[in-house]
Amino acid sequence: MQAVKSFFDFIKRIQKFNVRQNKQFWDSLDEREVKKYSQYMVNRYISMAPEFIDIANDFQKYKVSDKHHFLFFSEVIPKNNIYLKYVRRKKTMDWPKLFLEVVAKHFEVSLREAQDACEMYMISPGGKLELREILHRYGVQDKEISKVYDYES
């Protein structure tokens, strides 16, 4: 099976493969690859298609494992190429290079994609906390984070 480079690979699989194929795929992943799955980011991207907003919104209320989250969307999203265009906020933040490098390393994406991911995390309090957790994993302290954004609001 193909290695997972970022959470975008999970989005592609949700759109292209059925739940049986994706169950086998998930079971073949190692721990490092599983950590690249982000329910928050998948919900954000899935909700960019107007016909899936209600599904993503309703399902995010439930606490399920990453595997079951992935398999649920594999079951309900039609298997065709749906363009999931991320709608950006008009104002973007100037992110410290350290933050962008950490997010880029974590998701194994470019610095530009890392900036997009950081912007997405800022949309909700849950996203802010998840970004804080990612930054903590790579040694960024709360003092440095609070200089850039308030993760408690």
Domain for residue 134, yes or no? yes
Q: Is the Cβ–Cβ distance between 104 and 113 less than 8 Å?
A: yes
Name the residue range of residue 135's domain: 97-148
Domain for residue 131, yes or no? yes
Same domain, 107 and 58: no
Domain for residue 45, yes or no? yes
The residue assigned the tokens 């802010």 is: 128
User: Which stretches of the chain score pLDDT less than 70?
Assistant: 1-2, 81-93, 153
Supply the pLDDT for residue 138: 95
Cα 8 to Cα 110, 140, 145, distances in angstroms: 12, 24, 25
- pLDDT tens column, 37-51: 999 888 888 888 888
Supply the pLDDT for residue 44: 86
Domain for residue 86, yes or no? no
Tally the domains of the chain.
2
Name the domain boundary from 76, 107, 129: 76
Same domain, 12 and 71: yes
Same domain, 67 and 110: no
Supply the pLDDT for residue 48: 83
Domain for residue 66, yes or no? yes
Same domain, 56 and 102: no
Supply the pLDDT for residue 141: 93
Same domain, 68 and 118: no
- pLDDT tens column, 10-19: 888 888 888 8
Tell me the angle at which helices 125-137 and 111-121 cross, rounded to the nearest 10 degrees.
130
